[in-house]
């Protein structure tokens, strides 16, 4: 090989110029890179075009920094199924302006007409609401008009509440019925609860149920000395065990598979742990089921409460917080009456000499999303194509979320002096038929057209509306705006205890259903059956109410059988 500075030669013949080879290298590399970029960008363009066409075209409500930032994140997120097309504003100032090349559309006038026009002009499919920028009444108004225009509604909470800002589309979901219930947010004194529970040994009965499991989760946050979760539902108890193990690895807790009506088992648990606080949430709650099985309702709801309450006294428990229900107020069904009998017992026990345990009762209505509640039931019916079944067109109920209810239970537990019944402000009652119609609309369907609604008639023991106070009770305010205390009617311990002894014999040995219910009605005089086979028992002679003054009946008030007793001093 022979070479010089300008040429490369082989056997005396020139083959390549060194400069030409270098130039060829750079040109080849440049063309290759340009080709690769062209192919990649072409693919991205075609892919984005196809993706954009398949995305849901949505309006973003509001022109705040939050809604603008959210829209920008959705535009930049290639995996997002949503494509912001415009901002929807109720403020005329932004009319005819653009942000990120997205127009600001005004809807100050007849919003349903304007939404209809916007839908046609921009081919919009849905509306995205961001966080709590609207009050619940305003949100309801916007949502109703959006449904009327044939649009879907989506919701996302404020970005500052997100765990991370990536995958913004995963934080967006169809609006839920819970978001449309008119109730004010609940605030609790977490420091007071923390001071009250930290370092304590705490028992939660019914700890695998909807309320009990949430109570256990919330109590765990306050770092108790030991937390015992007790329930007789094996699978559900296993689930809460796995949750606590993963979420609170340093928490000292135990899950006990046990029945609250087994006195020997319960005594062993109390003797072992010497609880400071008991949250008693174990109960049977389904009205029609307990109407047909009164023995089991009384056994769990009433006798189970009596066993636990007596053990709490015997083992020096500081506080016993019973979770009750608004169905215990002037009960119209066996379930409500069993809970009212339990309330009466713990109140009577509080007045017994020598009792130092503070017995506190909390009452609230239906909780959203609990096992067997109406909302999961409706969702399943809608998923299956209907019909959605409502028992009466005028039936109304109070609703609260499970976390909210448990927060108030914890708060009330710190407030009680002993013997009180705390009643929670549940907000405005909700007409169940309206809820069914809205849930169908939230699913993107039309009630009575896509999904039929059937009125089936009131179930056994069911009321049209629930009450907050029994006859003779008065509502008193507390320092917490969402918690009231009921001025209750007091009952003599011996009378209630003897009545429960008789009931216990009936449910375990010789009693027939009607005899059992008759005895329960004698104990709970305000129990009047509705839509029930036991209604005719109310036509019989009602027990006489006797007032006890300083331990003795007032003159001229003789009574042949156990009766309801009021205590005066």
Instruction: Mark out the alpha helices in 401-492 (DSSP H runs).
Output: 402-415, 432-442
Active site residue: 171, 327, 339, 441, which one? 327
Helix (H, G, I), strand (E, B) or coil at 186: coil
Give the number of other Cβ atoms within 10 Å of residue 9's Cβ: 13
Phi, psi (rounded to 5 degrees) for 446: -110, 125
Whether 383 is catalytic? no
Q: Is 334 within 8 Å of 291 (Cβ atoms)? A: yes
Structure tokens at 381: 């019916």
Helix (H, G, I), strand (E, B) or coil at 157: coil
Q: Residue 277 and residue 320: Cα distance in Å, rounded? A: 6
Q: Residue 215 and residue 254: Cα distance in Å, rounded? A: 15
Percent of the chain that is helix, strand, coil (3-state, to 5): 45, 20, 35
* Nearest alpha-carbon partner for 297 in 253, 328, 255: 328
Rounded to the nearest 5 degrees, what angle is found at the Cα of 484, between the Cα atoms of 487 and 200? 100
Q: Can you give 78-137 as a three-state secondary structure string?
A: CCCCEEEEEEEECCHHHCCCEECCEEEEECCCCHHHHHHHHHHHHCCCEEEEECCCCCHH
Q: Residue 202 and residue 254: Cα distance in Å, rounded? A: 11
Q: Residue 443 and residue 438: Cα distance in Å, rounded? A: 9
Q: Is 346 exposed, middle or buried (0-12, 13-18, 19+ CB in 10 A)?
A: buried
In 183-276, beta strands by DSSP E: 201-205, 226-231, 253-257
Q: Residue 393 and residue 64: Cα distance in Å, rounded? A: 41
Q: Is 227 within 8 Å of 216 (Cβ atoms)? A: yes
Catalytic positions:
327
């Amino acid at each position: 090989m022979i070479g010089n500075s300008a040429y490369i030669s082989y056997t005396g013949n020139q083959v390549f110029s060194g400069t030409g080879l270098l130039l060829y290298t750079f040109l080849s590399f440049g063309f290759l890179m340009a080709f690769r970029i062209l192919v990649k960008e072409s693919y991205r363009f075609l892919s984005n075009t196809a993706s954009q066409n398949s995305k849901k075209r949505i309006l973003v409500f509001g022109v705040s920094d939050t809604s603008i930032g959210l829209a920008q994140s959705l535009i930049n997120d290639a995996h997002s199924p949503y494509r912001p097309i415009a901002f929807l504003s109720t403020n005329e100032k932004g009319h005819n302006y653009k942000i990120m090349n997205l127009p600001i559309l005004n809807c100050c006038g007849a919003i349903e007409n304007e939404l209809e026009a916007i839908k046609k002009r921009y081919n919009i499919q849905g509306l995205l609401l961001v966080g709590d920028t609207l009050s619940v009444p305003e949100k309801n108004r916007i949502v109703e008009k959006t449904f009327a225009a044939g649009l879907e509604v989506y919701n996302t909470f404020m970005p500052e509440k997100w765990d991370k800002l990536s995958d913004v589309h995963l934080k967006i979901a169809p609006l839920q019925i819970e978001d449309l219930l008119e109730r004010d947010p609940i605030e609790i004194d977490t420091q007071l609860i923390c001071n009250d529970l930290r370092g304590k040994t705490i028992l939660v009965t019914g700890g695998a149920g909807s309320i009990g499991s949430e109570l256990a989760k919330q109590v765990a946050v306050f770092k108790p000395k030991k937390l015992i979760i007790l329930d007789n539902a094996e699978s559900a108890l296993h689930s809460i065990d796995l949750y606590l193990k993963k979420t609170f690895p340093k928490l000292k807790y135990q899950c006990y598979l046990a029945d609250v009506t087994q006195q020997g088992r319960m005594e062993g648990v109390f003797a072992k742990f010497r609880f400071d606080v008991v949250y008693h949430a174990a109960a049977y709650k389904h009205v029609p089921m307990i109407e047909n099985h009164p023995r089991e309702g009384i056994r769990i709801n009433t006798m189970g409460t009596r066993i636990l309450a007596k053990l709490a006294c015997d083992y020096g428990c500081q506080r016993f917080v019973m979770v009750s229900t608004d169905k215990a107020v002037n009960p119209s069904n066996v379930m409500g009456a069993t809970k009212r009998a339990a309330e009466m017992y713990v109140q009577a026990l509080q007045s017994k000499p020598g009792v130092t345990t503070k017995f506190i009762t909390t009452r609230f209505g239906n909780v959203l999303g609990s096992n067997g509640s109406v909302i999961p039931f409706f969702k399943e019916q809608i998923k299956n194509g209907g019909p959605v079944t409502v028992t009466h067109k005028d039936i109304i109920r109070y609703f609260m979320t499970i976390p909210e209810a448990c927060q108030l239970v914890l708060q009330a537990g710190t407030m009680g002096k002993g013997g009180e019944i705390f009643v929670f402000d549940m907000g405005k009652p909700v007409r169940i038929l309206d809820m069914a119609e809205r849930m169908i609309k939230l699913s993107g369907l039309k009630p009575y057209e896509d999904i039929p609604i059937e009125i089936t008639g009131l179930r056994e023991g069911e009321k049209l509306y629930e009450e907050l106070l029994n006859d003779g009770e008065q509502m008193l305010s507390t320092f917490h705006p969402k918690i009231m205390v009921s001025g209750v009617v007091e009952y003599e311990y011996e009378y209630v205890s003897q009545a429960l002894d008789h009931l216990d014999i009936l449910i375990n040995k010789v009693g027939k259903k009607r005899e059992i219910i008759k005895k329960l009605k004698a104990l709970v005089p305000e129990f009047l059956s509705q839509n029930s086979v036991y209604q005719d028992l109310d036509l019989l002679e009602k027990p006489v109410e006797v007032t006890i003054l300083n331990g003795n009946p007032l003159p001229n008030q003789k009574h042949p059988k156990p009766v309801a007793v009021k205590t005066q001093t």
